[in-house]
Structure 1
Amino acid sequence: MEFNTDIFSQFDKKWALLTAGDEKSFNTMTISWGGLGTLWRKPVATVYVRTSRYTHEFMDENEYFTISFYPEQYKEILGVLGSKSGRDMDKMKDSGLTAKVLKDGVTFEEAEVTLVCRKLFRQKLEESNMPADIAKEMYEGQASHDMYIGEVVEIIR
């Protein structure tokens, strides 16, 4: 498996879609926080999901998730998918993206690259473990994030 990219801009500048579930029921959301690396001698991806997000339920209920990256022309669509909830709208119908069912998850035909990840770890980000200025800026009056670490088991181009 090989994925050559500028990992610092891949999430922050380009954004990505995090998708969890299966062909019967799944949800996707835009993410701009994430990381790629090695843990426990495995290639891993780390993502962060607010506990209030609909996708959080799918992340907890499923063993696999996907992270998919898109060409620049999809940035506006990713903006909508990151600001609207699947509880309130049919994201697939409204986005115009084409769902692609995989053996272990769901991605989209329009993706440039999809990382298929097997969930290895989940932990709540505790505000008491953060610098006070970050906790105040990011969490005051808002739901916390859970961190999910997944083993990258497949890269689809």
Structure 2
Amino acid sequence: MKLQPVDIQTLTPEIFSVFGQRNALLTAGAEGKVNPMTIGWCQLGRLWSIPVCTVYVRPERYTYSLMEQGDYFTVSVFPEEAGDILRLCGTKSGRDVDKVAACGLTLRRGAGDAPFFDEAEWVLVCRKLYAQDLSESCVQDGTHILHHYGAQGWHRMYVGEVVEAYAR
């Protein structure tokens, strides 16, 4: 069964069992380039009275430049048996590898020409609303936070309005 458009209000992903355990692909595209990146951090909810999805990308990542250039991004959750796709997209850089081709993914487009993949279980298409760099100076209790940072930079947070959703 192919992914079909669904009402955002009826999609109820089990976010705590997906992010951090199964994970997902954050995908951005600009100037004809598309890059999926495995993510384990994501928030879904309501902010400013609209449905939003918040993702985080370090400036060192190839996806960062695509997120900065484009107005849309997608979050695609794959079935558990797609672990090889998530491993490759989490360990290889889009600077060096065409991950879409390497994984044999079927590229589709949503609102704003946002790239996503037909092999996913569900997809959120998001329009960027807000971006802000996380900062050590704002950390209140570093117990669970500071070990994520060392030689690499702090993440940039992107809040996107969920404008479309697709599910099987």
Residue in 1 that maps onto 2:159 = 149
**1:94-133 per-position Cα deviation (integer Å, ceiling 9, x unaligned):** 1121211234201011011110001010000001212344
* Gaps in structure 2 of 5+ consecutive residues: 1-7
Distance 1:62 1:7, change over 3 A: same
1:23 and 1:11 map into 2 onto residues whose CA distance is: 29
Aligned-partner residue type, residue 147 of structure 1: M
Residue in 1 that maps onto 2:23 = 15
* Gaps in structure 1 of 5+ consecutive residues: none
Taking the TM superposition and a 5 Å limit, the aligned residue runs for 1:25-64 are 25-64=33-72
2:31 and 2:151 map into 1 onto residues whose CA distance is: 35
1:5 and 1:18 map into 2 onto residues whose CA distance is: 16
Contact 1:23–1:101 (Cα < 8 Å) also in 2: no
Equivalent residue in structure 2 for 1:106, among 109, 112, 115: 115
Deviation, 1:22, is 5.2
1:120 and 1:80 map into 2 onto residues whose CA distance is: 29
1:69 and 1:136 map into 2 onto residues whose CA distance is: 27
Report the number of matched residues: 157
Partner of 2:161, secondary structure, is strand
State the superposition RMSD in angstroms. 1.5
Report sequence identity in percent.
Answer: 47
Partner of 1:9, secondary structure, is helix
TM-score scaled by structure 1?
0.93
1:68 partnered with 2:86: no
1:12 and 1:106 map into 2 onto residues whose CA distance is: 23
Aligned-partner residue type, residue 152 of structure 1: V
Aligned-partner residue type, residue 130 of structure 2: F
Residue in 1 that maps onto 2:127 = 118
Distance 1:5 1:74, change over 3 A: same
Residue in 1 that maps onto 2:150 = 140
2:76 and 2:160 map into 1 onto residues whose CA distance is: 14
- Of 124-133 and 43-52, deviating more is 124-133
Contact 1:127–1:135 (Cα < 8 Å) also in 2: no
Contact 1:100–1:109 (Cα < 8 Å) also in 2: yes
1:78 partnered with 2:86: yes
